[in-house]
Amino acid sequence: MLAALLASMTLATAACGPASSTPTPFDTEVPIGPTPWPSGTTGQYGLHIDPSLLARLPGTVDAYPLVEDPLSEGTDMADPDLAKTFDRFAAASIGVISDDNWLNVAIGHLKPDQQGPDVYQAWVGQYATGACSQATGVSATTQSTINDWLVDVATCGGGPVVYTLRLPDGVILSMFGMGSRDLGRKLIEAIYQ
């Protein structure tokens, strides 16, 4: 399930540089980049790509714009395993893996019958394993409280950090990135309950 999702994130090429404006804590509109489905679309297995999920996230993180990632979303909606767990999904990114600071983000709404703790824990492990698969695997896992959110954190042997947390209403936010600015942590710090 996760291999295709993470492979598409790894190959994303929509580079973004730092913006000149100062981020505000209530800036919650992620720009929709070039996409064939600005209002969403549904894949052959029933997974709906829903860019409106990105409205729950800050539009900028540490002055970097968070931009919808249609390449990843196209791969996501073709994943039958992802469609078994989520009914709505969206992806976004800051920069690309070759940048000094980058972040790949996945946000999804769990199907009603998938909203139990076991499904969440399985997702945490699968996402971290997939995210770290190109970085010598998961070297450590922990839970941390960031901005009053309980966050599952995994560190990849090659350096990237993976964050996963539950948002209200059956939504899971997962991300992985790398760089001295720790954009994943800063994104979580900017999410208000």
pLDDT tens-digit profile of 46-86?
Answer: 899 999 999 999 999 999 999 999 999 989 988 999 999 99
Q: In the prediction, which pLDDT does 107 show?
A: 98
Which of 32-41, 96-105, 124-133 shows the lowest mean pLDDT across its residues?
A: 32-41
* Mean pLDDT, rounded, of the chain: 84
Q: In the prediction, which pLDDT does 6 show?
A: 45
Q: In the prediction, which pLDDT does 41 show?
A: 79
| Rounded Cα–Cα distance for residues 149 and 168 (Å) | 11
Q: In the prediction, which pLDDT does 162 show?
A: 98
For Cα atoms 174, 176, 181, give the angle at the middle one, nearest 5 degrees. 120
Cα–Cα distances in angstroms (integers) from residue 183 to residues 2, 4, 106, 127, 175, in the given order: 22, 23, 14, 18, 10
- Please report the beta strands in 28-96, taking only residues with DSSP state E, as ranges in sequence order: 41-42, 48-49, 60-61, 64-65, 67-68, 86-94
86 beta partners: 110
pLDDT above 50 for 108: yes
pLDDT above 60 for 145: yes
CB atoms within 10 A of CB 20: 6
29 vs 132, higher pLDDT = 132
What pLDDT digit, counting tens, does each position of 5-49 carry? Answer: 444 444 333 333 344 344 444 344 555 455 566 667 777 788 999
Which of 2-11, 91-100, 112-121, 165-174 shows the lowest mean pLDDT across its residues?
A: 2-11
151 beta partners: 144, 165
Q: In the prediction, which pLDDT does 124 show?
A: 97
| Rounded Cα–Cα distance for residues 180 and 102 (Å) | 10
Quote the domain boundaries for residue 95.
Answer: 2-189
User: How many folded domains does the chain comprise?
Assistant: 1
